[in-house]
């Protein structure tokens, strides 16, 4: 769900200014609403201000652009997108473009995501529908156009008995495309002693992708857990987080990362999830291969969640560099700017990595770091070769 679209492409398909003849004050009001959402609901604002000392000045500069030169929702979209990019788009902070809007619609309609929650209601709101639907519903919403998505790459090294699989996206829209390819790769190489999942550059998508296509086929039930920290506010209430939340004060001090107090987070919620093999026993492989996952600083969102899962459960050894993060198991929440109907999103909860650091900003650390001159692939090949030498008679 968490794909980022290039700004230039987004501007070509978002809206036409003729459809957005709002009074000039409406654009300024929506800009102020967007900043207010950050101030009231974004848990990372103290860190953003610390890492971007000129944050308030950037906001003031962007607001002046809206006041003096904004004449359409498209222009407001561009100004806010530029502002969020200048502060690094932390925690999925971004504006929603038309393609992303229809991806959300596809997830709701074709995959049954969001149920009757606030995300669905925002997608269905009349002004938002009119804004994003100005050019009509794209055909690929029903049949996703996967032409521009990088395919999964599979190779086998018989000398090392290594199955090497590169996956650059965990988009839920790719699951049916990739399911047979991945399962066939596992089946075709029963003698593999090493299976390497190279997710370097993977910007995420959906946890369902890696759960169903990478973990479940190996026939194990694997349980993992997450804990989120947040504040009691209108956004967390609207999205149902407060229903099962407990005050942070109910935890032992050893369970509370240092950033919780620094960010003023007051409530917490934990949950456990099990990845289970197919009930009918189909589409399962029996493999004793050692599993490896390669990461770099671009691994983000659900891909970061997969790396954290591997570290927590020891399902695979993570090799590479610290990820970009923000894979805590809670998707970013949608918010609506009321005057134009534009949608924005950001992560509203904080999670920690294995070292107790704020995952959104510090990512997931690997089990094995490369040398400065090595790529993650270089490292895993070196290790596999060393293991082979130690096992030689």
124: left (phi over 0), alpha (psi -120 to 50) or beta: alpha
238 HSE (CA, 13 A, CB side): 14
Q: Write out pLDDT tens, residues 238-296.
A: 999 999 999 999 999 999 999 999 999 999 999 999 999 988 778 899 899 999 999 99
Q: In this predicted model, what pLDDT tens digit does every residue of 338-386 receive, in sequence order?
A: 999 999 999 999 999 999 999 999 999 999 999 999 999 999 999 999 9
The 10s digit of each residue's pLDDT in 70-109 is: 999 999 999 999 999 999 999 999 999 999 999 999 999 8
> Residue 25: how many CB atoms within 10 A of its CB?
10
149-220+278-325+363-393 homologous superfamily: 2-enoyl-CoA Hydratase; Chain A, domain 1 (3.90.226.10)
Q: Is 314 exposed, middle or buried (0-12, 13-18, 19+ CB in 10 A)?
A: exposed
Task: Write the DSSP symbol of residue 371.
Answer: P
* Distances from the Cα of 290 to the Cα of 85, 167, 293, 365, 380, angstroms: 39, 18, 10, 20, 11
Question: What are the sequence ranges of the domains in the chain?
Answer: 7-141, 149-220+278-325+363-393
Nearest CA to 184 out of 139, 152, 210, 209 is that of: 152
Local structure of 309: helix, strand or coil: helix
Q: How far apart are CA 133 and CA 130, in angstroms?
A: 5
Banded model confidence at residue 141, pLDDT cuts 50, 70, 90: very low
Mean pLDDT score of the chain: 90
pLDDT in tens, 151-197: 899 999 999 999 999 999 999 999 999 999 999 999 999 999 999 99
Q: Of 2, 48, 6, nearest to 331 (Cα)?
A: 2
d(CA 197, CA 213): 12
18 has a pLDDT exceeding 50: no
Tokens 């390819």, residue located: 181
């Amino acid at each position: 769900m968490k794909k980022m679209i290039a700004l230039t492409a987004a501007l070509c398909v978002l809206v036409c200014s003729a459809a957005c003849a709002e009074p000039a004050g409406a654009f300024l009001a929506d800009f102020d609403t967007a900043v207010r959402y950050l101030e009231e609901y974004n848990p990372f604002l103290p860190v953003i201000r610390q890492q971007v000392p000129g944050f308030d000045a950037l906001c003031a500069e962007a607001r002046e652009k809206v006041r003096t030169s904004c004449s359409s929702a498209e222009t407001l979209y561009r100004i806010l997108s530029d502002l969020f990019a200048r502060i690094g788009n932390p925690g999925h902070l971004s504006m929603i473009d038309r393609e992303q809007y229809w991806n959300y619609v596809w997830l709701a309609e074709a995959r049954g995501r969001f149920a009757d929650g606030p995300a669905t209601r925002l997608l269905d709101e009349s002004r938002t529908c009119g804004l994003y639907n100005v050019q009509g519903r794209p055909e690929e919403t029903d049949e996703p156009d996967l032409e521009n998505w990088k395919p999964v790459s599979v190779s086998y090294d018989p000398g090392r008995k290594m199955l090497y699989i590169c996956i650059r996206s965990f988009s839920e829209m790719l699951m049916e495309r990739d399911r047979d390819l991945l399962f066939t790769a596992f089946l075709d190489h029963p003698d593999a002693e090493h299976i390497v999942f190279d997710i370097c550059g993977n910007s995420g998508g959906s946890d369902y992708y890696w759960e169903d296509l990478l973990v479940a086929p190996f026939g194990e039930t694997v349980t993992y857990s997450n804990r989120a920290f947040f504040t009691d506010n209108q956004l967390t209430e609207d999205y149902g987080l407060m229903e099962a939340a407990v005050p942070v004060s109910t935890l032992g001090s050893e369970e509370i990362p240092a950033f919780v107090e620094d960010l003023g987070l007051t409530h917490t919620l934990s949950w456990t999830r099990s990845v289970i093999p197919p009930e009918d026993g189909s589409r399962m492989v029996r493999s004793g291969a050692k599993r490896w996952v390669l990461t770099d600083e671009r691994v983000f969102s659900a891909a970061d969640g997969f790396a954290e899962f591997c570290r927590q459960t020891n399902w695979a050894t993570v090799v590479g560099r610290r990820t970009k993060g923000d894979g805590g198991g809670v998707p970013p929440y949608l918010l609506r700017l009321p005057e134009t109907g534009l949608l924005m999103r950001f992560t509203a909860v904080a999670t920690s990595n294995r070292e107790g650091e704020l995952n959104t900003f510090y990512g997931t650390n690997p089990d094995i770091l490369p040398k400065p001159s090595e790529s993650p692939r270089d490292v895993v090949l070196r290790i596999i070769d060393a293991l082979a030498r130690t096992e030689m008679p």
